[in-house]
Amino acid sequence: MRYSTCMAFGFLCVLSSPISAADEVIRIAHIDPTSGPFANVGQSLGRHLQAVVDEINANGGVFGGAKLELVNLDNKSSPQESVLVLQQAIDQGIRYITQANGSNIAHALTDAVAKHNARNPDQAVLYLNFGAIDPALTNEKCNFWHFRFDANVDMKIEALTNYMMLQKGIHKVYLINQDYAFGQAVSRSAKELLKKKRPDVEIVGDDLHPIGKVKDFSPYVAKIKASGADTVLTGNWGNDLSLLVRAGKEAGLTTDYYALYAYIVGSPTAIGESGANHVKTLSAWQVNVPENKLEKFATDYKSKYGEDMWFNNAKTELDMLVRAMRTAQSTDPLKVAKALEGMKGQGDTGELWMRPDDHQLMQPLFISTFAKVGKGVKYDVEGLGLGWRDDVRIEGKDTVLPTSCKMERP
């Protein structure tokens, strides 16, 4: 066996002469909605993942000629359906699953994966979470077989409120969020941190609404207007953000929005020109960040799929997975999980660290403002002539928060 080492984006990359069949295929099941109210988001995430898989395979695959294959499975935004399709994936011999949409889904999957692995240690499954951000998933519900590649709610609200506390025009904040684990966590964290950092700011509303079921947000908008709020803070995503913003536009609502997911596919179009300089979002990347190492990948993606790349977590996740497989010289989920734990190095946006204590990724975050193309906005989104202007970069080390995780390892 011959070995050599290289440095790729700052990560140790272990290459060898083939140790497995050159035609080996490593399948990854992507479990997200491809039907229902959030179908556009799930389908777009599938394209993001596929673009990364194609790049990895075009560059020689994982190791020894092994290639990745993405299998998209529709969970219809249902925790119960997610567990069913997880079992289908396991029955097909798939040992890697990934998911982003919905912490309610993530709770169901992490529980199901943990139970399966305890009963079937020789058929263990590794769960890669690149978008479900309820803090509990890497705190009291932490699980050795679960790795999260997005900042959790507390990390994001900590960063966002650090910025908000410096904005003198914020006096009255209205909270509106989806009524499930994630939205509840946003509400709880925002109230706690705003009170601590800006005791002069009044929380004038705190609504939780059914996820994916509200078709008309005008009653909520009427409450926001009546409250005298100057700022709306929301974790809403997908249709629930688009319909909220659209209802606000129709009612002449002039508040500023601080939205965790205003950059998700379809949301910029819903925001439109009236949101220019009034909508801010927080993300792990956007196409106008300075020193953008993903610029070519993003423009190639848009040329191929006819939509903007908006979620670099898909690339971060698969890049790190492949590096772990190369380091472990194995596709065995247990060996790969151990290689992922504690992984550090330079990613596309800067320093990355997968904290071994709870399997929570630390990475830079960016706060951006929706603005017209021009100074600071090279690329627009969704053909609007508007895009995201970078305001603040937060280094990964500055997002680190304590964890209550008590990891049980196999």
Distance in angstroms (rounded) separating the CA atoms of residues 346 and 88:
36
State phi, psi for 275 to the nearest 5 degrees.
-85, -5
Distance in angstroms (rounded) separating the CA atoms of residues 374 and 105:
40
| Residue 22 pLDDT | 56
Question: Residue 196 gets which letter from DSSP?
Answer: H
Q: Where does residue 296 fall: left (phi above 0), alpha (psi -120 to 50 degrees), or beta otherwise?
A: alpha
Amino acid, single-letter form, for residue 120? N
| Residue 333 in this model has a pLDDT that exceeds 90 | yes
Q: Per-residue pLDDT averaged across 92-98, rounded? A: 98
Topology match between the domains 3-151+293-362 and 154-283+364-396 = yes
Distance in angstroms (rounded) separating the CA atoms of residues 393 and 297:
21
Distance in angstroms (rounded) separating the CA atoms of residues 68 and 90:
16
Distance in angstroms (rounded) separating the CA atoms of residues 328 and 80:
34
Domain ranges across the chain:
3-151+293-362, 154-283+364-396
Question: Residue 377 gets which letter from DSSP?
Answer: B
| Residue 10 in this model has a pLDDT that exceeds 60 | no
| Residue 13 in this model has a pLDDT that exceeds 90 | no
pTM: 0.92
- Six token digits for residue 297: 């990948």
User: Residue 183: which H helix or E strand, with range?
Assistant: helix 181-197
CB atoms within 10 A of CB 25: 12
* Backbone CA torsion sign across 163, 237, 190, 136: negative
CB atoms within 10 A of CB 1: 7
Q: Report the topology of domain 154-283+364-396.
A: Rossmann fold (3.40.50)
| Residue 7 pLDDT | 37
Class of domain 3-151+293-362: alpha beta
**Structure confidence by residue, pLDDT tens digits, 234-249:** 999 999 999 999 999 9
